A and B are shown apart, each in its own frame.
Chain A
Amino acid sequence: MTDRTKGTPGARRGPRTPAAPRTAGHGPGGPAGAGTGGLGTGSGTGTGSGGGTAARRAGPVWPAWLWTAGITAVLAGSPLLARERLPDRLATHWNSSTPDGSMPLWAASAVPALVWLAMAVAVILTARRTPGLWPAVLLPTGVVLGGAQAAIVRSNLDVADWHQARMPGWWVAAVLIGATLAGVAGWLLVTRRHTGGRDGGDGTPALEIPEGRRMVWFSRAANPWLQLLAALTGLGAVATLAALAGGVAEPDALWGLFAGLAVASLAGGLCSSVQARVSERGLEVSFGPFNWPRRRWPAADIVTARAERRSPSQVGGWGYRFSGLGTTVMLRAGECLVVRARGRRSDFAVSVDDAERGAALLNALAGRTG
């Protein structure tokens, strides 16, 4: 339903949550954390604005710069430090343990370092918009590049000419395993930082369900721009199909165009609206006009649910988004229903109206069955 304003004349609002109404968060009397930051703030810093929350969740940036500098030093420094024992040209590429590519010493030192620097800086700067994602990318990449550089230097040590350098296969395997471990560690770091501590707890207070009552909650949200896009591309696809049938132009190019337009229309249509419903079956979220695809969380699997204000810039754009905040189905900025499922490290959020009461009902149902 549409976002209702307060005060339908003379109407009882039915069973409301004990929580403050949505608009009260910024007022002087509003309970702490009922506004943008969501309920159940554990970290307790006083920033109330949405931007502040994003920056706070991103964590400090200096470890990223430190890691970048350290890996740069390894990449640039290791060939230089060992230059007494290295040939003039280093073997830098192998084809099944026989070297087939080489670089002068200075290039073997500078090229990987510069590539790494450029990538790391780009990731850190973009990660300011996608909070705290850098460890998931930079940890494994740094380990791969650093490990590869170490392996290159090691295999060129004490050889007279780069053709004699040998790269044992298990070194490659070791580097890849190390990178995988670093990737897992980075991912755990990202998810723990954003989900641990802060909201492991209560979420929205549970709605009181009177004995013998069955309550259900429905909500939806739509993005009119995506609907328009889906309609326009759909029209385009139909027009192309008509042109194909009429034999107007080259069929090959038209088929490609038709496929592109049809896929765009379908994707836009599926992502343009979302329905959420909370019932004794749990939380069900379905997409698009056909209510498909659909995801369901049984009520017993919900650890906690809450309402939170999120914007596309926090989660990295519109649509189905993965970010440091978990998974977000983002159709419009504003109120989102956020749930933590049992056994999951990250949250699932969907932007729908009236999320606070949905969260309250879900918490009540989860408490009843769990």
Chain B
Amino acid sequence: MLLSLDKNDTRPLHEQVAGAIRRAIAEGECGPGDRLPSARDLSEALDVNVNTVLRGLRGLRDEGLLDFRRGRGVTVAEGADARSVLHLRTRELIAEAARLGYSRNDVVDMIRGLP
């Protein structure tokens, strides 16, 4: 799988790591059931502290994109490909809303207001 980080990105690193993996899942770089490289591998290759990587991975687990299994390492969860696409679009929506001056709550209200 190919991962890519933006060196000029100003977001916290753990979000960037999570974003790179989320994007890889969304683009089909790794499918459900595939094993992710170990956190140490990722940290060495991306030149990011291993705890930061772990924090990013835990975030993705909480989103339901990754499974942590004892003895099997970290795997891509079932249905993660579709979920990660939805996640990406939601994030884009929030970013777009922020650019136009709407807060997250405004977007949530907007979604609630839809028929």
Contacts and interface: CB of A to CB of B under 8 A. Distances in A.
A295 interface: no
Interface in A217-255: 217-220
A10 to B, nearest CB: 7
A291 B45 CA distance: 14
Interface string A277-288: 101110000000
Interface residues of A, number: 28
A245 B6 CA distance: 57
A4 B4 contact: no
Interface-central residue, B4, B28, B38, by most chain A CB under 10 Å = B28
B63 to A, nearest CB: 18
Contacts, number: 82
A48 B27 CA distance: 32
Given A2-B31, A8-B81, A10-B85, A214 B5 contact: yes
Interface of A: 1-2, 4, 8, 10-15, 212-220, 275, 277, 279-281, 291, 354, 357, 361
Nearest to A353: B1
Given A4-B31, A281-B44, A215 B2 contact: yes
Given A213-B7, A216-B2, A354-B1, 16 more contacts: A1-B35, A2-B33, A4-B31, A10-B85, A11-B81, A13-B27, A14-B2, A215-B3, A215-B4, A216-B4, A216-B45, A217-B1, A280-B47, A281-B45, A291-B41, A361-B2
Interface in B7-44: 7-8, 23-24, 26-31, 33-35, 37-38, 40-41, 44
Contacts of B35: 1, 220
A72 to B, nearest CB: 56
Contact of A4 (B28, B44, B47, B85): B28
Q: How large is the interface on B (under 10, 10 to 19, 20 to 34, 35 or more residues)?
A: 20 to 34
9 contacts: A1-B30, A11-B81, A14-B29, A15-B4, A217-B1, A218-B41, A220-B35, A275-B41, A354-B1
B46 interface: yes
B28 A11 contact: yes
